[in-house]
């Protein structure tokens, strides 16, 4: 069974540009989470999808971030326009429906905004 | 006060020794507790999960939970150089969609 995949693995963009990150969860996992780790800080929650619905987006930093999960399969996280402070590693995780099911993390996308 | 606190380390132990990693959390409603291992440049990998007070053992790893003290720990027996990594403590609440709240992590170095 394939794990969580993310694309791209690295992205270097200039301030003001747009970047779209993609996450493909484990097949059959309805729960999909986005997290971010900025340099020197702990991993922080961004948002949570259940199927195609946003369950909790309390961690989204501001309206420059837009997440979608069309059809309840893969998810995209768009940053527009990117700012320097958006640099970090963006992780996606997916989880099954059981209350104690594990969150499995993808390899992450390292975003550098210059 | 941070929601999940860990000593950043590094914690250095000799090969074959027991490594003890500690974590405290602030939300008494937390229901699930996890230890993730993260190698440099890699994604977090689940090592242990624990949901009730007491000890839970899995191979060389033992997780200990004390909800009254809001404390969770991870013991690694017979530490190996391959255990050298950052260990992340995380907690979650079902009412918040099981989102994980992470500590900053403890760097463990096992010297051969």
What are the pLDDT digits (tens) for B86-101? 999 999 987 778 899 9
The residue ranking higher by pLDDT, B92 or B77, is B77
* Chain A residues close to B44, C-beta within 8 Å: 43, 91, 105
Mean pLDDT to the nearest integer, A94-105: 84
The C-alpha atoms of residue A110 and residue B6 are separated, in whole angstroms, by 24
**Which residues make beta-bridge pairs with B92?**
B32, B100
Pairing of strands A10-13, A109-113: parallel
* Chain B residues close to A104, C-beta within 8 Å: 46
pLDDT score, position B72: 97
Cis peptide before B24 (omega within 30 of 0): no
Tell me the pLDDT band of A2, cut-offs 50, 70 and 90.
confident
Q: What is the pLDDT of residues B28-69, one digit of tens each?
A: 888 899 999 999 989 999 999 999 999 999 999 999 999 999
Mean pLDDT to the nearest integer, A34-57: 94
8-state DSSP, B43: -
Strand ranges inside chain B, DSSP E: 4-5, 11-14, 19-25, 32-38, 45-50, 54-58, 61-66, 71-76, 85-92, 100-102, 106-111
- Residue in A30, A35, A47, A103 to test binding to B, most B beta-carbons within 10 Å: A103
* Chain A residues close to B87, C-beta within 8 Å: none
Minimal-distance CA residue of chain A relative to B34: A102
């Amino acid at each position: 069974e394939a794990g969580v995949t993310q694309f791209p693995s690295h992205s270097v963009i200039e301030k003001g540009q747009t970047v779209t990150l993609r996450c493909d969860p484990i097949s059959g996992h309805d729960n999909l989470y986005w997290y971010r780790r900025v340099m020197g800080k702990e991993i922080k929650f961004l948002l949570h999808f259940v199927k195609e619905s946003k369950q909790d987006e309390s961690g989204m930093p501001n309206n420059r971030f837009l997440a979608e999960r069309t059809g309840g399969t893969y998810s995209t996280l768009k940053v527009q326009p990117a700012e320097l402070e958006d640099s970090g590693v963006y992780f996606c995780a997916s989880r099954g429906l059981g209350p104690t099911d594990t969150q499995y993390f993808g390899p992450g996308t390292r975003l550098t905004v210059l | 006060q941070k929601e999940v606190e860990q000593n950043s380390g590094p914690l250095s132990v000799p090969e074959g020794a027991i490594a003890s990693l500690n974590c405290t959390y602030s939300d008494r409603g937390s229901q699930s507790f996890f230890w993730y291992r993260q190698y440099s440049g890699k994604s977090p990998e689940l090592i242990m999960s624990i949901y009730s007070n007491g000890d839970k053992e899995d191979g060389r790893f033992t997780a200990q939970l004390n909800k009254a003290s809001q404390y969770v720990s991870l013991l690694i027996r017979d530490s190996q150089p391959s255990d050298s990594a950052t260990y992340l403590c995380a907690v979650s609440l079902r009412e918040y969609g099981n989102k994980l709240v992470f500590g900053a992590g403890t760097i463990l170095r096992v010297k051969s």
